[in-house]
Each structure stands twice: as structure tokens, then as C-alpha cells.
Structure 1
Amino acid sequence: MEAKIGFMVKWPERENIFKIIPPVFKEKFPRLTSIVDCFEIFIDAPKTLLARTQCYSSYKKHTTVKICISCDPLGHINFLSRAWGGRVSDVHLVRKCGFMSPKYHMPDNQILADRGFTLKEDFATACSAHLIIPAFTKGKRQLSAKEVEESRKILSVRIHIERVIGQLKKKGTPYFRVHFRFGV
């Protein structure tokens, strides 16, 4: 994958990172450096039982590989992990792929993620960055008006990573079929 799309992956220079934030994002998240998510790509079932169990995604009900991806506010891919078996959780993948590193994040940087990324303390400890996720109703009957408004604000910006993933899958489909045919 690195050989085919590695040219698209570049972390911006630290001094330029906040210059590229569009004004619409800057008012919502002034220290936003990246939007992170994980996505899965379908693969043929590997021949070995161990590889097959590592690649089977109970969420997708198919054998897949999972990749952690991040983009900047302009939609440029700035981080792409190696492929992991589809069975791995998003949280485990982000912890182990090297994304939570001071190499990428400065203190007080803001990173947007989905609800499932329950890694606020991990990011704070590893690189003093702020992971921002939408509120969820776990343990509550419903969200407060403030939580709903904050979640909408986050989701209006986080949609960009979904668009990047969609474009990557759309343009990369023949590549993914050929190179991931035999599994991980």
C-alpha cells in the first residue's frame, strides 16, 4: 500500500500546521491538526486458520484488514497505519500503530475522532494532545442541549475523514482486490 499511495501521506511541518486550517474550522477548533478514523477493506479468506481468525471481522461478517487513517482539516492524508487483521478493535489499533506520538502531536493539539475512540487519557499521557469525540448516552437517558450542540459541531468537521476514506476506497478498489487477495 505504501508503494501505491505513500506519496499522498505527509505530515505537515509544525510551523505551517495551523496556517492551513480553513477559517470555518478555526473558529470551531483553533488547534485542530488531524481527524482520525479506522476503516476496513474486504479480503479473501486466508488459508491458515490463525490468519483467518485474526482477519475475521464480526462487525462486517467477513474477513477484512483494518487501517488507521488521519487527515488534516483540508482533507490531506497525514497518517496511514499498516494493515491489521479486521478482528482488532479501533482502540487497540490506534494504541499500537504509532499515531499517539509526540512525533505527530504537540501539546494542546486537537484531534477529532468517532465515539468509539475512548482514548482521551491515552492521548493526554502520550503526547499532551486533546482527543475530541462526540458525546454519547452511555449511562444517561438523553444528552443535554449543550452536548447535542457540541456533538453536531464535531460531526460537521469529522465528516471529512469519512469522505477521504470513501475516495480512497473508490479509487483504490482494484489495488485492494489484487494486493489483499491472499490475506494478511
Structure 2
Amino acid sequence: MFQGLRTNSLFYVLDKGENPNLQIGQVVSVSNPQTKYPTFNNGFTPQPMETVVDVKVKINDEEVDFKQLPANGQIANDKNLVVSDNKEAMSAEVDAMLRQSKAILENVDYHERVVKSCEGMLLQLNPQIAKEKEQAEKISKLEGKVSGMEGKLDRMMGLLEQVASK
């Protein structure tokens, strides 16, 4: 639990962003548990108050503050950042992330077929898209032909210059 952390305890930080990575730091300080503001449901009955702590952690010679972590929790996440004081909880989080990514990779072929099918269906449903796609393909082919002609013209000019200089 975050409220049970002590100075120099290990603290795990998982960044699930663009380039996932795990950092292990050491706790510098932990605040005393504070009550979170009470929440009310539709009947205006206050819900049980949750307590939170602020944890300061040293990671790679830099101190980082983690605010309002659940005092009785072992793991917390916010967007792409997951923090924990428990190696097993963090290991389970990394394992879940790995399983999810493997499942996605196993279904890549299916999703590529879905994309291709949907593009075809959209062309059927909206002929304007088909016309625009056809025009884009024609323009691309023409650009290729023009660049090929430029290369041939450059070679012809080179040959003419060689002949003229003799």
C-alpha cells in the first residue's frame, strides 16, 4: 500500500506511451494520508472518504512527485503512466500489456482485410470517392511519366552537348 511506503523503498514507474519503458526508483518521502474531497451521488449522500498520499521518488538522479495516490492502493494509473510499490502488481500490469499487444498482432491480417473491404464498400456507397481515387491514381501515373521524360531529356541534352563540343 502506498501509505506504507518508507524512505528507500522501491517504486516502479511504467510508461505505456509511444516507447514503453519501466523505471525503478527509490522513495524519498511519503506524505501523511489526507482525505480526498467527499463525493456526492444524486441523492447528495456523501460517499465514504478516500485517503490519498503524495509520494516523492528518486529516479535516475531526479526527484519526481506522484500526487494523490490511493493510500490503500498498490497500483495507480493515469493515462499512460502506471505506478506501483509492488513488484508483483507491476509485473502483472506488464504481462497484461504484453498479452494485449500479442493479441493485436495476431489479428493484424484480419484488420488489414477489414480495412480493404471497408474501403471497397465506401467506394460502392459513394461514387465520388471512387472518382477522386481514380483521379489521384491518374495524376500519380502522369507524374511518374513526366519525371521519366525529364530524365530522358537530360540524357539527350548531355549527348547533344557532347556531340556539339567535338
> TM-score range with shorter-chain normalisation?
under 0.3
Higher strand proportion: 2
Higher relative contact order (CA 8 A, sep 6+): 1
TM-score (norm 2): 0.27
Q: Rg: which structure is higher? A: 2
TM-score (norm 1): 0.25
